[in-house]
């Protein structure tokens, strides 16, 4: 697949008076302008036969906000998106769009734009006809269709490709056309289901920038973006809803979820933390750093919720937070090096906490001396990067 260079500068979308929404007060101000959420799920459950694909899921997305639904494959992300769009019936709960309950409405009456992973363009229609299709189906006056199609194609940089067939386009270009088609009806809500996952690495990076630009050009629409890729979620989302086993595990700003993970799962899925079981050695206030013990090895860690003396908790530490040391560090552990993996700009060292089977990963800059397999040495860590989270019962 060849890279898709931008053909046209992005142009801002024209809002028709009927769809006009209040503008932000200042550029870059991410405060939602309306208190009515653009979309809300209220205890929504969806089942496929006996499989519960989404269980009592509730969240709201404000106008102008991008929410990423992030989680492993099969966690219920696409199902949540389909419930919003009306492609799956809910067995319980309600979906609201712009303050209106739409649970019983068919997809065409919900006014949302939907982009799926594999473009889903009509192969026998050219780009222009693909984008115009929904407008024609909705009996948009012919005189309005051409300017609107031109406008959205210009917005995604595809106007000069209007006469091509989908098979004459790269994957990235086809996905841009799919986005243009979703935007043609001027939705207030755009749903993106793994829009970048069918693209190769370089195209994904280009499309990430495209989507950031699109957000800038359409400041008032709400976007719900399904992805299993944490980098995509962190780059694009104002907030992240972390999905796990059909349930919403946590929802917060990308910043908070990353820097103050509320659970073992949040810390491991977002940032690849390793988990160490420990015991709090003292009462530790929420947000404070305090001492913990792991089989005689002491560490200091930050507790987001606070901990009682002797409480069993877990520590979550990301691989980049550890640093190897050949002397006893102020805050660290003794480890045995297992092996090393080359990962481009870093080497990922797999190690075990000495005298245990507990694995930890340590990222070492490539140009730095790396330890050798079999070596016993120390790792040190800043207590602010040691997140104390509730201990999860093992499955």
CB 305 within 8 Å of CB 273:
no
Question: Partners of 17 in the beta sheet?
Answer: none
When the beta carbons of 87 and 133 are compared against ligand ADP, the nearer one is 87
When the beta carbons of 71 and 290 are compared against ligand ADP, the nearer one is 71
Range 62-81, binding ligand ADP (CB under 6 A): 71, 73-79
When the beta carbons of 71 and 113 are compared against ligand ADP, the nearer one is 71
User: What count of residues does the chain have?
Assistant: 395
The minimum distance between CB 229 and ligand ADP, in angstroms, equals: 12
When the beta carbons of 243 and 388 are compared against ligand ADP, the nearer one is 243
Closest among 237, 187, 321, 185 to 67, alpha carbons compared: 237
When the beta carbons of 203 and 248 are compared against ligand ADP, the nearer one is 248
The minimum distance between CB 348 and ligand ADP, in angstroms, equals: 26
Both tokens assigned to 71: 């989680």
The minimum distance between CB 114 and ligand ADP, in angstroms, equals: 14
When the beta carbons of 64 and 76 are compared against ligand ADP, the nearer one is 76
By CB under 6 A, the count of residues binding ligand ADP is: 11
CB 142 within 8 Å of CB 118:
no
The minimum distance between CB 59 and ligand ADP, in angstroms, equals: 15
* Burial class of 147 by CB neighbour count within 10 A (0 to 12, 13 to 18, 19+): exposed
Binding piece for ligand ADP, criterion CB under 6 A, among 5-13, 47-55, 111-119, 269-277 = 47-55
The minimum distance between CB 49 and ligand ADP, in angstroms, equals: 7
**Cα distance between residue 380 and residue 330, in whole Å:** 7
Q: Is 195 in the site for ligand ADP (CB under 6 A)?
A: no
Query: Contact with ligand ADP (CB under 6 A): which of 2, 16, 31, 51?
Result: 51
Give 11-14's long-range contacts (Cβ < 8 A, gap of 24+). 11/151, 11/154, 11/155, 11/217, 12/155, 12/217, 13/151, 13/152, 13/155, 13/183, 13/186, 13/217, 13/218, 14/151
When the beta carbons of 53 and 321 are compared against ligand ADP, the nearer one is 53
Range 282-321, binding ligand ADP (CB under 6 A): none
Please give the angle made by the CA atoms of 284, 287 and 293, to the nearest 5 degrees.
40
**Cα distance between residue 325 and residue 78, in whole Å:** 45
Binding piece for ligand ADP, criterion CB under 6 A, among 46-54, 60-68, 113-121, 286-294 = 46-54
Which DSSP string do the residues of 184-236 spell out, in sequence order? HT--SEEEEESTTTTS-HHHHHHHHHHHHHHHHH-TTSEEEEEES-HHHHHHH
Which DSSP string do the residues of 128-184 spell out, in sequence order? HHHHHHHHHHTT--HHHHHHHHHHHHHHTT-GGGTT--GGGS-HHHHHHHHHHHHHH
When the beta carbons of 77 and 318 are compared against ligand ADP, the nearer one is 77
When the beta carbons of 51 and 341 are compared against ligand ADP, the nearer one is 51
The minimum distance between CB 52 and ligand ADP, in angstroms, equals: 8
Residue corresponding to tokens 């986005």: 179
The minimum distance between CB 71 and ligand ADP, in angstroms, equals: 6
Range 225-264, binding ligand ADP (CB under 6 A): none
Q: Is 45 in the site for ligand ADP (CB under 6 A)?
A: no
**Binding track, positions 87-106, relative to ligand ADP; x by CB under 6 A:** --------------------
Closest among 6, 13, 24 to 210, alpha carbons compared: 6
Report CA-CA distances (Å) from 248 to 52, 68, 86, 93, 225. Answer: 13, 12, 20, 15, 15
CB 262 within 8 Å of CB 303:
no
Q: Is 48 in the site for ligand ADP (CB under 6 A)?
A: yes
The minimum distance between CB 256 and ligand ADP, in angstroms, equals: 22
When the beta carbons of 66 and 75 are compared against ligand ADP, the nearer one is 75
**Residue ranges that bind ligand ADP, judged by CB under 6 A:** 48, 51, 53, 71, 73-79
């Amino acid at each position: 697949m060849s890279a898709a260079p931008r053909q046209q500068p992005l142009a801002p979308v024209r809002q028709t008076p009927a769809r006009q929404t209040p503008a932000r007060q200042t550029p870059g101000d991410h405060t939602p302008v309306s208190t009515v959420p653009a979309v809300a799920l209220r205890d929504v459950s969806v089942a496929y036969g006996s499989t519960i694909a989404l269980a009592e899921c509730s969240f709201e997305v404000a106008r102008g906000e991008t929410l990423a639904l992030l989680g492993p494959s099969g966690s219920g992300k696409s199902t949540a998106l389909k419930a919003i769009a009306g492609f799956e019936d809910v067995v319980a709960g309600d979906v609201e769009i712009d303050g209106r309950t739409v649970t019983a409405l068919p997809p065409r009456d919900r006014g949302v734009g939907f982009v799926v992973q594999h473009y889903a363009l009509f192969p026998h229609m050219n780009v222009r006809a693909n984008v115009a299709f929904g407008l024609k189906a909705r009996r948009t006056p012919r005189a309005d269709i051409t300017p609107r199609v031109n406008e959205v194609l210009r917005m995604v940089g595809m106007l000069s490709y209007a006469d091509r067939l989908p098979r004459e386009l790269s994957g990235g270009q086809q996905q841009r056309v799919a986005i243009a088609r979703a935007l043609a009806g001027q939705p207030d809500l755009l749903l993106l289901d793994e829009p970048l996952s069918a693209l190769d690495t370089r195209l994904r990076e280009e499309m990430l920038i495209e989507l950031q630009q699109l957000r800038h050009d359409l400041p008032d629409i709400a976007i719900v973006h399904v992805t299993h890729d944490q980098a995509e979620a962190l780059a694009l989302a104002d907030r992240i809803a972390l999905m796990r086993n059909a349930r919403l595990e946590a929802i917060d700003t990308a910043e908070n979820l990353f820097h103050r993970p509320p659970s073992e799962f949040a810390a491991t899925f977002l940032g690849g933390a390793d988990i160490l079981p420990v015991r709090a050695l003292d009462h530790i206030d929420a947000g404070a750093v305090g001492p913990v013990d792991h089989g005689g090895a002491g560490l200091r860690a930050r507790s987001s919720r606070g901990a009682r003396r002797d409480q069993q908790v877990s520590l979550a530490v990301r691989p980049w937070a550890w640093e190897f040391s050949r002397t006893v560090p102020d805050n660290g552990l003794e480890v045995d090096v297992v092996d090393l993996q080359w990962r481009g700009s870093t080497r990922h060292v797999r190690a075990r906490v000495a005298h245990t089977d507990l694995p930890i990963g340590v990222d070492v800059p490539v140009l730095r001396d790396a330890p050798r397999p079999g070596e016993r040495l120390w790792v040190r860590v800043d207590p602010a990067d040691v997140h104390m989270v509730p201990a999860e019962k093992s499955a």
